[in-house]
Structure 1
Amino acid sequence: STTGESWSLTLTIIYSKTDFSNPKSGWEAKVVEFFKDRLKEKDAHTWVPSLNDVPLHYLKPNSLVKFRCLIQDMFDPEFFMGAYETVDPSTNAKVLRCGRYKDVTECGVSLVDFNSRNTVTAERQTFYCVPIPGENPWVKEISSSLFVNAAPYQARVVPSTSYAPTRQKRSYEEDDMDDMDTQPQKQREPHSGINSSQGHTEQHGNGDCKRQETEAPSSQTASASHLDLNFPLPGEKGPSCLVKVYEDWDSFKLNDTLEVFGILSVSPALSALADEKDASSSILDPTESMETAEEQRVHSPPASLVPRLHMLYARPLPHNNPLLPSATLEDNSAFLSSTLSEMASVRAELLTYLTHVLLGDALAAEYLILHLISNVYARRDVLPLGKFAMNLSGCPAAALYTQRFYQIIQQLVPSSFYLGMSLQNMNQMRLVPKKDYVANRLVSGALQLARNTFLFLDETHLEQGQLDTTGVRNVTALGNLISWQKVDYDFNYHQMEFPCNINVLIASEGRSLLPSDCQIHLQSQVSPPNMEEYLSNIQLHPQTSSQLNKFRIYLSVARQLDYSISDEMTKSVEDDFVDMRKDDPQSVSAEDLHRMLVVARLLSLSLGQTSLTRDSWLRAKHIDMLRRSRMEQHQCVNGNEP
């Protein structure tokens, strides 16, 4: 069967047949190509255990795993021994070994010959990666079930008996004594100056599975309290990971979302060596450590908390919806055509459901669908094209409506974050990432989000009070995010712009204090005395989970579709614009035209149409007219509202 272990065995065989001292052999590219090809076979990638779904203490060291993640930080490049020679002290026999895809040298009783002419010093990059921020529970559940259902029986994960995190803090002598007691048939191996990860694998080979299952999480929790894992959002769980990149690291950018396939390294020696400065010779980096204590703590955390993953191959993730095929839509024409044929009917069902959620307001539900499928598809200079930030005003403050509303949206989108805009949150939260020069890392903020994350800003929490400097900076950052789809990271002496692609919905009672591309005032069809009862009856789940999955697929596919406008339709739109301005030039501005074109684009995509038709354009004009007349009517009633 094709499992993480069997693929790692393949890597071992490749190692044994390769001349690492010859830089022209090109074996590295062949290894990557081999794994890429194997992962494409019959959805083999679904058989690979994931760090997102499987607890770390269930995974075997040096096996193939995958990790769905966001690049939170990029550390400085590091040197390592790409090839090194070991010498057996008793026989003087020399063996050339490979240091690629490893953190710790493997030499057993032998010693590394640092003066060997065959030593090859190479360079690799390290990315600090975290699980995709705000990934919703349904994504994790479906991803996990896909692995369990896809993996052959032999590949299903059982607690690893080769690595017991709970025993790391004990000395190696104690471990050896345990092994002498529990495995009398094995002779105790003498220590060498170089730690062997294979040696540790054998030494921990007789651990108690049940003990590991119960103890590993608690020890992890205890250690985690002393180590900031730098997750962008509060309350996040899951492993962070140091991903070692060997090829084309310039092709990756901060905040990219990836699925990384690589060799897992959780050697206890890494944790031990982090505490022993004089043991730096055991690590494959032959250079002296120039890091400060704080930097070393951040860059060399315990492997039980922050495992190392040596990248073989990384797949960019245009989305993190596990219900869609892993291949791009263009490469999966059968899935795309069947989905497109159902889009109009699924849209009608979703519209009915969201109308119910939005207190009977069908127009607001229409705009909410357009908002949920919006996407920055291009940038012209500084202008992000395709964004559609929405301000839903008129939200009832009673009965926790906005929280209930967010919980329902959470069931539909893969990643989301709820931010209650209370005075305390605005004055205390760190929204913008900031560079820490002492620890040499980027301290994350709540706006360091993956593309297409749904950000729900709840202004019904606003109260009277004074914004301090942090509060003003946070509100400014939110305004820039909405208007320009960028976040200015704080590098102390300067700011650096990072583009983003985040769907922002602002729920408010009156008009939002933040900018938006479209404001629609909620017209509730529910009378206030019945509000609480109505809200309590709103089902978080529609009729069935299959219905919910239809909605999830629909929203993700609509966001990824290509779109175009023919020359004929462009001329028709221009003529319409001229006609609209004939009677009253002030009635329709260029900004209004731009918004109507965005609405027309999203309306077309929501129906599964990849080009603008006359009907869609007329429909876009109609709903925009309805929205504007509603806003004018509301302003007449509430003349004092801006």
Structure 2
Amino acid sequence: MPSVDDWINNPLGVVDGIFAQFSSSPDWEKKAVEYFKEKLKVNDAQSWVPSLNDVPLHYLKPNSLVKFRCMVQDMFDPEFFMGVYETVDPSTNAKVLRCGKYKDVTDCGQVDFNSRKTVTSERQTFYCVPIPGESHFAAASQARVVPSTSYTPNRHKRSYEEDEEMDTQNQQSKEISGLQNVSDSHRNVDSKRLETEAPSQNTSPSHCSSTLDLNFPLPGEKGPACMVKVYNEWDSFKLNDMLEIFGILSVDPALSLVAEDKEASSFLDPTESMETVEEQRAHSPPTSLVPRLHMLYAEPLQHNNPLLPSVSEDKGAFSNGVKSEMSSVRAELLAYLTHVFLGDSLAAEYLILHLISSVYARRDVLPLGKFALNVSGCPHTSPYTDQLYQIIQQLVPSSYRLCMSLQNMNTQRMVPRKDYTANRLVTGALQLGRNTSLILDETQLEQGQLDTTGVRNITALGT
């Protein structure tokens, strides 16, 4: 049986082995996914898998098994690839049938594109970002605590520009295993490594900017964005879903080489590409900034609170364990919040009700379970709202404070919109995950004129 080193460090080897053994069976793909699911159920096996959320990308081994806790920010068009292809040994003319899933490129020999055994498959691409507004305690609790065999902290840090320069000569011999269609195989010509901090919401669109917009919903957020390749049941996922994805990491510099070739040729022959330059940049960013993750499977997250059981865990045992403490904990929290609200115990009661409320159903446009809270009479001359928000951040796993100043209302992008030129969903500050606490700070309201953007933002906040 494969060891931990095999299924974490070399998951493609495991997949290829299962394909070689069961390729004649239509269920071989399910067997591969079930293999990894069973491995991750053993004890604390999930903590052995390095996370894109807390391990720098240059420390992660390419083509290794990683996990990513994220929100689905955008869904791209489906793409086609060679699910099964045949390679030919030039010296012996021996032919071998190989699996094309969970990879972008292959270096296993010359591909016979005219083989009748080639199987064209389809996969979906999600653009995923870290959960917006995640609190520090939630992110820290989810960080890996058990060292993984695929994590090498002593490796010398090296940028992907150096990796690409060293690998360029070798990559020329690689064949694209996916043979993606024209709209899916372009890659950005600009592979310069850029800062991964999200730009402010009032920056120009990515096709007008010289830097890559990672499309984070909230301004100032940091973390990896990732393009996730989904092979099965992608209709079960929705926009803004929170997921923990287990998949195979792909950061091959050959993708950038393909982009340069394709983009250069498209300037010579406009009919060769159906994509605009803006769409190429949005859908084919450098892998050093936006790595590709080939999903093996994903666990939907009903919440991202590390102190509560997940969907797959036994909630009954957890509830029985905390029932005896609920009364005393509530009394302590009420006393603490009463102090925070300057002695107003009623406001503290309402805040507790607000924090535990959640939307459980929707009737047309009416969300059932929504309990918005308006707190008035707050001091304007002290940093009271700052301190109140810091306290709320320690109580909820995800939150965002929106300062309703005139400048923010007129310049900040709040509602996501479709950019048809780049064929992507341009995010906004209101594109948040499930049960995110949104704090509207009206103490910064001032006299002035709202422009068209400001009126649109105020309207969005009222719906």
Aligned to 2:284: 300
Deviation digits for residues 440-492 of structure 1 (CA, Å, limit 9, x no counterpart): 00000000000110111010100011111111110110000xxxxxxxxxxxx
Partner residue of 2:379 out of 374, 392, 396:
396
User: What SS does the corresponding residue of 2:134 show, helix, strand or coil?
Assistant: coil
Aligned to 1:95: 96
Could you tell me how far 1:279 is from its partner in structure 2? 9.7
1:313 aligns with 2:311: no
Quick one: which amino acid aligns to residue 303 of structure 2? Answer: H
1:255 aligns with 2:240: yes
Distance 1:461 1:405 in 2: 15
CA contact (8 A) 1:77 1:125 kept: yes
Q: 1:488-567, aligned counterparts within 5 Å?
A: none
Could you tell me how far 1:151 is from its partner in structure 2? 4.0
1:240 aligns with 2:206: no
Aligned to 2:183: none
Could you tell me how far 1:168 is from its partner in structure 2? 4.1
Q: 1:241 to 1:87 in 2, by over 3 A?
A: same
Q: 1:243 to 1:105 in 2, by over 3 A?
A: same
Could you tell me how far 1:264 is from its partner in structure 2? 0.5
Aligned to 1:266: 251
Distance 1:324 1:155 in 2: 28
Q: 1:390-469, aligned counterparts within 5 Å?
A: 390-469=373-452
CA contact (8 A) 2:79 2:123 kept: yes
User: What SS does the corresponding residue of 2:347 show, helix, strand or coil?
Assistant: helix
Q: Which moves more between the two structures, 431-440 or 133-142?
A: 133-142
User: What SS does the corresponding residue of 1:391 show, helix, strand or coil?
Assistant: coil
Q: 1:163 to 1:30 in 2, by over 3 A?
A: farther
User: What SS does the corresponding residue of 2:435 show, helix, strand or coil?
Assistant: coil
Deviation digits for residues 190-246 of structure 1 (CA, Å, limit 9, x no counterpart): 95252799xxxxxxxxxxxxxxxxxxxx94428997100000010011000000000
Q: 1:107-506, aligned counterparts within 5 Å?
A: 107=108, 110-144=109-143, 147-148=144-145, 150-151=146-147, 154=149, 157-158=152-153, 165-170=160-165, 172=167, 192=173, 194=175, 219-221=193-195, 226-277=211-262, 290-328=274-312, 331-480=314-463
User: What SS does the corresponding residue of 1:320 show, helix, strand or coil?
Assistant: coil
Q: Structure 2: any 5+ residue segments left out of the alignment?
A: 179-191, 199-209, 266-271
Could you tell me how far 1:379 is from its partner in structure 2? 1.9
Quick one: which amino acid aligns to residue 93 of structure 2? Answer: N
Q: 1:420 to 1:164 in 2, by over 3 A?
A: closer
Q: 1:6-21, aligned counterparts within 5 Å?
A: 6-9=7-10, 11-19=12-20
Distance 2:171 2:63 in 1: 23
Distance 2:91 2:32 in 1: 34
Deviation digits for residues 425-446 of structure 1 (CA, Å, limit 9, x no counterpart): 1111110001000000000000
CA contact (8 A) 2:196 2:289 kept: no
Distance 1:22 1:463 in 2: 67
Could you tell me how far 1:166 is from its partner in structure 2? 3.5
Query: TM (normalized to structure 1)?
Result: 0.63
Greater radius of gyration (CA): 1
Q: 1:615-626, aligned counterparts within 5 Å?
A: none
Q: 1:13 to 1:450 in 2, by over 3 A?
A: closer
Q: Which moves more between the two structures, 116-125 or 378-387?
A: 378-387
Aligned to 1:58: 59
CA contact (8 A) 1:130 1:231 kept: yes
Distance 1:365 1:20 in 2: 62
Distance 1:80 1:427 in 2: 44
Could you tell me how far 1:83 is from its partner in structure 2? 1.0
Q: Which moves more between the two structures, 87-96 or 465-474?
A: 87-96
User: What SS does the corresponding residue of 1:234 show, helix, strand or coil?
Assistant: coil
Quick one: which amino acid aligns to residue 277 of structure 2? Answer: A
Distance 2:171 2:375 in 1: 70
CA contact (8 A) 1:21 1:120 kept: no
Residues matched between the structures, number: 432
Distance 1:237 1:424 in 2: 23
Distance 1:294 1:4 in 2: 41
Q: 1:15-30, aligned counterparts within 5 Å?
A: 15-19=16-20, 24-30=25-31
Distance 1:442 1:70 in 2: 14
Between 1 and 2, higher relative CO (CA 8 Å, sep ≥ 6) is seen in: 2
Q: Which moves more between the two structures, 72-81 or 374-383?
A: 374-383
Distance 1:222 1:359 in 2: 40
Could you tell me how far 1:271 is from its partner in structure 2? 2.1
Q: Which moves more between the two structures, 225-234 or 77-86?
A: 225-234
Distance 1:395 1:404 in 2: 12
User: What SS does the corresponding residue of 1:221 show, helix, strand or coil?
Assistant: coil
Distance 2:61 2:233 in 1: 27
CA contact (8 A) 2:71 2:129 kept: yes
Q: 1:63 to 1:193 in 2, by over 3 A?
A: closer
Quick one: which amino acid aligns to residue 416 of structure 2? Answer: P
Query: TM (normalized to structure 2)?
Result: 0.87
Q: 1:562-641, aligned counterparts within 5 Å?
A: none
Could you tell me how far 1:380 is from its partner in structure 2? 2.8
Quick one: which amino acid aligns to residue 294 of structure 2? Answer: H
CA contact (8 A) 1:130 1:240 kept: yes
Distance 1:229 1:255 in 2: 16
CA contact (8 A) 2:61 2:150 kept: no
Distance 1:356 1:401 in 2: 13
Q: Structure 1: any 5+ residue segments left out of the alignment?
A: 177-188, 198-217, 281-287, 481-642
Distance 2:167 2:65 in 1: 26
CA contact (8 A) 1:86 1:111 kept: yes
Could you tell me how far 1:420 is from its partner in structure 2? 0.7
Distance 2:407 2:276 in 1: 35
User: What SS does the corresponding residue of 2:259 show, helix, strand or coil?
Assistant: helix
Could you tell me how far 1:21 is from its partner in structure 2? 10
Could you tell me how far 1:273 is from its partner in structure 2? 1.8
Could you tell me how far 1:309 is from its partner in structure 2? 0.4
Aligned to 2:201: none
Deviation digits for residues 504-544 of structure 1 (CA, Å, limit 9, x no counterpart): xxxxxxxxxxxxxxxxxxxxxxxxxxxxxxxxxxxxxxxxx
Aligned to 1:69: 70
Could you tell me how far 1:10 is from its partner in structure 2? 5.3
Q: 1:473 to 1:162 in 2, by over 3 A?
A: closer
Q: 1:2 to 1:457 in 2, by over 3 A?
A: farther
Q: 1:43 to 1:172 in 2, by over 3 A?
A: closer
- Alignment RMSD: 2.7
Quick one: which amino acid aligns to residue 400 of structure 1? Answer: P
Q: 1:4 to 1:412 in 2, by over 3 A?
A: farther
Distance 2:151 2:167 in 1: 31
Deviation digits for residues 354-376 of structure 1 (CA, Å, limit 9, x no counterpart): 11111121111111111111100
Could you tell me how far 1:106 is from its partner in structure 2? 2.8
